[in-house]
Amino acid sequence: MGDMLAVVGQVGCGKTTFLQSIMQETIIMKGDLEVKGSIAYVEQDPFIISASVRKNILFGKTYNAEQFKKAIQFSQLSRDIET
């Protein structure tokens, strides 16, 4: 099998523009671009229901305090919830 690469980073740091450049959907101002092999691009498609944050995270599953805490931590929502 081949390699897999994940592009992660903070909001607004250029992840989407970087990926669009690889897929030749932006104008390259300087330098060269060469892609070997195939590319699979899975775009984030957020889905939010009109309910509490908890219900949006659980999405119908049973509440488990420890798992919920980890979900908040891993998704970096702690600061948003505090605000």
Please give the Cα distance from 27 to 52 (Å, whole number). 41
Question: Is the residue at 20 inside a domain?
Answer: yes
Question: Is the residue at 68 inside a domain?
Answer: yes
Query: What pLDDT, on the 0 to 100 scale, is given for residue 65?
Result: 95
Question: Is the residue at 53 inside a domain?
Answer: yes
- Predicted TM-score of the model (pTM): 0.47
Question: Is the residue at 8 inside a domain?
Answer: no
Q: 39 with 22: CB under 8 angstroms?
A: yes
Structural domain boundaries, residue 48: 15-82
**Any residues with CB less than 8 A from the CB of 58 and at least 6 apart, and which?**
68
* Tokens (6 digits) for 30: 């300087």
Query: What pLDDT, on the 0 to 100 scale, is given for residue 61?
Result: 93
Element (H, E) at 32: none
pLDDT tens digits in sequence order for the chain, 83 residues long:
677 778 888 888 998 888 888 888 998 889 988 888 888 777 777 788 899 989 988 989 999 999 999 999 988 888 888 88
Distances from the Cα of 76 to the Cα of 21, 22, 24, 49, angstroms: 27, 28, 31, 19
Question: Is the residue at 37 inside a domain?
Answer: yes
